[in-house]
Amino acid sequence: MKLANRLRKYRFEHNEITQQDLANEVGVTRLTIHSIETGKFNPSTLLVLKIARFFKAKVEDIFYLTNKERKKK
């Protein structure tokens, strides 16, 4: 099981907000947002909630669990 996200899609739908602007809004570095988007880093609950609040969306709409092997098939 792996944590995946639709962060890039949400950014695109919100006036194509940049990684830097999103990072400024939720109080992390640009590289942290980049790492979350690319699946290199699993964010904390606090950060996940901040991101969801910023996009006015439910956490599970942005973040979801995925089975990597199943996806490959």
Partner 1 sequence: MKKLENLLKYTTVFLGFVSSVFFVINYFILSRLRPKMIRFEVVSQAEENLMNIVGVGLLLFLAFCLLSLLWIVRYLKRARKVNLFSVVLIIAGVLSLLFVFSDVALLNDIGKQYKHGLAQPEWLILYPIMAFQFMTGLILTFSHLFGLKEKDKVKHVAKDSNIFLIVQYVGVVCGLMGLSLSSLGFLFPRAWSLNIHTTISSTVLLMPYALAVSYWLFTKLQEKDRQWYDEKQMQDVGKSAFLTLLLTVFFMILLFVLNYNNLGGVISITWLPLYLFSALFLFSLGNLYFN
Task: Provide the binding-site residues for partner 1, judged by CB under 8 A.
Answer: 18, 20, 23-24, 27-32, 35, 41, 43-44, 47
Q: What is the DSSP secondary structure assignment for residue 44, as one 8-state letter? A: P
Contacts of residue 11, Cβ cutoff 8 Å, sequence gap at least 6: 17, 18, 19, 22
What's the Rg (C-alpha) of the chain?
Answer: 12
Whichever of 5 and 32 has its CB closer to partner 1, that residue is 32
Q: How far is the CB of 72 from partner 1 (least distance, A)?
A: 26
Whichever of 4 and 47 has its CB closer to partner 1, that residue is 47
Q: How far is the CB of 19 from partner 1 (least distance, A)?
A: 10
Phi, psi of 4 (to 5 degrees): -115, 170
Q: How far is the CB of 73 from partner 1 (least distance, A)?
A: 31
